[in-house]
Amino acid sequence: MKNPCFRSCLAPRMEQFVALRQASGFDYRGQAKELKYFDTFLFRNDIRIERLTRELTEQYERTLVHLHPATRENRLRVLIRFARHLAGSDPESFVPWAPPSDRATRARLPFIYALEHVRALMQAAGQLPPATSLRPDTYRALIGLLYSTGLRISEALALGLGDLDHGAKLLHVRHGKFGKERWVPLSDSAYAALRVYLDRRLATGPPAGAQTDTPLFISLRGRRMDYSTVLHTFQRLLKECGLRPDQGPRPRIHDLRHAFAVHSLLRWYRQGRDLNACLPALSTYMGHVGVAATQVYLHATAELLDATHRRFLAHYRQHAQGDSDDRHTPDRSVHGTVLLPVSRR
């Protein structure tokens, strides 16, 4: 995705601002898209100014009242960053106050897909038209990869043919969040499924050019898959599988990443692994800067709570054989137990 083309009276300053942010190491394309809405507001209203004013920013804010609070907050926060940039060279330029954030109270609960849900989605993907095209194989492979690796959808769609190391069974994620790169090991089954798709992809898709630049997942036209098209098709698959509940969280494609994290934790609980050692590895695997970022993805499902209970009970029975003083010590802890958010599926 390229940076948007700014057209307003502040277009040169916007281009300078975005270039500066990107030169600092930020992947600022998403935020640049949010700034484009302010640029369009200025352009369509034929507003010609040299600096921001309170009246102008308040006028822009009134055009956002119909939006979802999270969307409105994102656009205003990008505008504030741009205003601070302008004020750096023009102290009289107005800088709006940051809007109060209620993200903690309105954070949505994810839908944690069970294995049977993923199988149903992949089966439905295999029935996508045209039946003889690569499209069914593409969506089946994409869903399976997201579930088995926890990749972000943007990372999966950005993969190229040269990003798969067949010898080591590794994926090279070149376009991670904040521009980070990482290697993602694949399980034998995930690699085998991806290889089946790749064989068909090379046999029926357009000729492969530069391996790294040639997209791994392609559309019917042989181009890199479009994010919005993938989301639309995924919603169709959810409906066909009956995964559109009237109550509870509505499933999203990003929730496959949540499911990967929860199921990894559940597997380690059942295996009796040391979670204090496993969680940093999970953070690195998912492309997080630390365990705190991964904690957002660890949700207390019924299966995970049951595994936690069983582990604690086994620990208690093992250590409750001592004398009465030891049995009633209040600060005993369970090795490798992770505190989970109280949100349930």
Instruction: Name the residues annotated as catalytic.
Output: 152, 177, 254, 257, 288, 297
Q: Which amino acid is at 237?
A: L
Q: Is 170 in a helix, a strand, or coil?
A: strand
User: Strand order in 182-185's β-sheet?
Assistant: 164-165, 170-173, 182-185
242: left (phi over 0), alpha (psi -120 to 50) or beta: left
What is the Cα gyration radius of the chain? Answer: 24
- Using CA atoms, how far residue 53 sits from 15, 35, 47, 60, 90, in Å, is 20, 17, 12, 11, 12
- Cα(269)–Cα(288) distance, integer angstroms: 21
d(CA 343, CA 265): 16
Q: Indicate the SS3 state at residue 299.
A: coil
**How far is it, in rounded angstroms, from Cα 272 to Cα 117?**
26
329 membership: H or E segment, kind and range: none
| DSSP state for residue 185 in the 8-state scheme | E
Find, among 206, 116, 201, 187, the residue nearest to 145 by Cα: 187
Planar angle of CA 190, 291, 183, nearest 5 degrees: 35
- CA pair distance 219, 225, nearest whole angstrom: 5
DSSP state of 217: S
CA-CA distance, 138 to 150, in Å (whole number)? 17
- DSSP strand pairing (164-165 vs 170-173): antiparallel
**DSSP characters for 1-69?**
-PPP---STTHHHHHHHHHHHHHTT---HHHHHHHHHHHHHHHHTT---SS--HHHHHHHHHTTTTS-H
